[in-house]
Structure 1
């Protein structure tokens, strides 16, 4: 079935979006002909996109096949260290630069997302949207670019921490605290609230992974 978005984005963006939204998960094999059919584009741009994604370590080789890469424990830890620092900076800058309209959007997101508690996939999508809004509210395009790279790599984690029991409700409370700090133009509090939010998500993910090996 062809993807209706194919006319709006290039092959690279379409494949990346498919990985980001979980259509393709770590370990899944990507086949040129299947991707070309799905997105309604020729195999040449698909091949070029796959090569680009492999260069960016989003894909890896399994024999002659390309599969969606996965992150080992150390890579995941490194990613969370960087994410914590950059996200905290974004929150600090948002507290300084966000317009009243941007803050209103963040507040509305928190309220709307309460209805998604217990729906981890939907919450995961909403969570990405919420964090992206904070990135944009920082009004620092270089920081936004770096955070886009970080969040791209987050797609290589097979599960969402929001699937853990009780984590969805906790995350909403943490989002509320982050927005309150931004509303108050308190950069230190915003940095602290968002950094702790990422840290708690990391702890939850570590527990999920630990349970898998029992």
Structure 2
């Protein structure tokens, strides 16, 4: 007999990954029976996973149905304010606490990601890995947990700012500056570099949203 706890965990992760990858986009309706068939999981853990995602505000109710939530302008602005401060703090702590091996991994990521400049989707995944590595290099479990929540909500953004013309190359240059500051153990420079990086990403997203709604 399958372990219900594992099934529940798998169903939650599978649905979350599908939202994160864009399989389900903001406004898409999620139907228990269809999800159960797609993922090969019974409807009970699917139902529990949907309820969990609703409590995290990743899903919202439309009558009796569940749909993937979307972020309005104010929610997006609020998210970026929190993300900017928490990520900048992670970079500051990484400059103080990152091991030589962790810094080498960050440097290697920046170099390898240059090969993805013409593939925004792949670069977006690599970008997430890079930021996650900075979070871990902070060596602060509570900060990492809070950033995990922020990134979970970011899955509700249907597009990546890296798809904007010229943004991907600039973003990698910014990653390089962040790693250099961490390498040098300069916590203030690392804080400012990552904060500026998030600010530029937000500006790019706002411009993109304005163009899409014009």
Q: What TM-score results when the alignment is normalised by the length of structure 1?
A: 0.95
For structure 1, which segment, 76-85 or 22-31, has the greater mean C-alpha deviation from structure 2 after superposition? Answer: 22-31
The answer to whether the 8 A contact 2:8-2:46 is kept is: no
Instruction: Give distance in 2, aligned partners of 1:136 and 1:19.
Output: 24
Instruction: Give distance in 2, aligned partners of 1:60 and 1:46.
Output: 15
For structure 1, which segment, 128-137 or 26-35, has the greater mean C-alpha deviation from structure 2 after superposition? Answer: 26-35
Unaligned stretches of 5+ residues in structure 1: 1-5
Instruction: Give distance in 1, aligned partners of 2:21 and 2:123.
Output: 12
Q: What TM-score results when the alignment is normalised by the length of structure 2?
A: 0.95
Instruction: Give distance in 1, aligned partners of 2:40 and 2:107.
Output: 38
2:70 alignment counterpart: 70
Instruction: Give distance in 1, aligned partners of 2:38 and 2:125.
Output: 22
2:3 alignment counterpart: none
Shift of 1:118: 2.0
Aligned length: 209
Aligned-residue Cα RMSD (Å) equals 1.4
Instruction: Give distance in 1, aligned partners of 2:172 and 2:8.
Output: 33
1:81 alignment counterpart: 81
Structure 1 position 40 matched with structure 2 position 40: yes
Runs of 4+ aligned structure 1 residues displaced above 3 Å come to: 6-9
Shift of 1:63: 2.4
2:112 alignment counterpart: 112
1:99-178 map, 5 Å: 99-178=99-178
